[in-house]
Amino acid sequence: MTSNRARARGWLLRYLPLEVCGTIAALVGAWLAFDASGSLAVAALVGSLAESVGYYAIVVVRTARGHAASDRVLRLGGGVRAALATSGLTLRSVAVEFGPAEVVDSVLVRPALLWAAGAVWGANPGAWLLGKLAADAVFYAIAIVSFELGRRIVLPSASASASAAAAAGRPSPTAILRPIDRPLTTGAPR
């Protein structure tokens, strides 16, 4: 059993790159939308959408690479069947880990907090950042629970991660991210 500190470190390694890209996209999107429209509501909605695009671009690529290197997909021998299997496993993994958090976050929490922060502290990136950070706390509370409960569904098999990394001459991702038994980043360069 891993310690709470090791598990938290694993979550940080797993989610921080996604968060950085999503944050930049949210701030740029909200700023451009407010500049174009003058509306806090439009800025909040565009900021929410931009963050999702920035965040999930990395999630989908990492997940697809991990599943494409898994034993389950490699046994299919490539081609259309392997591509369909990779796509299906990627969709399932992303839905299990992020689906519940995304529904609550996108429909209610994030737009409301981005709007409220702008209404209270003015239409500026600092206010939107505060609203975004408050929404992130809710999002990660749900996403981490979903990840931990769905770990076997979300992550490709550990043997696939190790064998794919060894074949490519890279260190095993399991060795890099010990707190996560079967990391999503399977062989993905950092």
- At residue 132, the pLDDT reads 83
Residue 164, pLDDT above cutoff 60: no
**At residue 129, what is the residue type?**
L
Q: Tell me: the pLDDT tens digits for 99-154?
A: 999 899 888 998 899 889 989 998 888 998 899 889 989 999 999 999 988 888 88
177 pLDDT above the threshold of 60:
no
At 20-47, the pLDDT tens digits run 998 899 889 999 999 999 998 899 889 9
Q: How confident is the model at residue 168 (pLDDT cuts 50, 70, 90)?
A: low
Q: What's the token pair of residue 61?
A: 């690529």
Taking a C-beta distance cutoff of 8 angstroms, is the pair 14, 109 a contact?
A: no
What confidence tens digit (pLDDT) does each residue in 45-102 have? 899 899 889 999 999 999 999 999 888 888 888 889 999 999 999 999 999 999 999 8
d(CA 107, CA 111): 7
How much is the pLDDT for 167? Answer: 54
- Reduced DSSP (H G I as helix, E B as strand, rest coil) percent helix, strand, coil of the chain, to 5: 80, 0, 20
Q: What is the pTM of this model?
A: 0.67
Mean pLDDT score of the chain: 82
Enumerate residues 6+ apart whose C-beta is below 8 A from 14. 147, 177, 180, 183, 184, 185
**Type of residue at 89:** L
Cβ partners under 8 Å of residue 74, min gap 6:
82, 160, 164
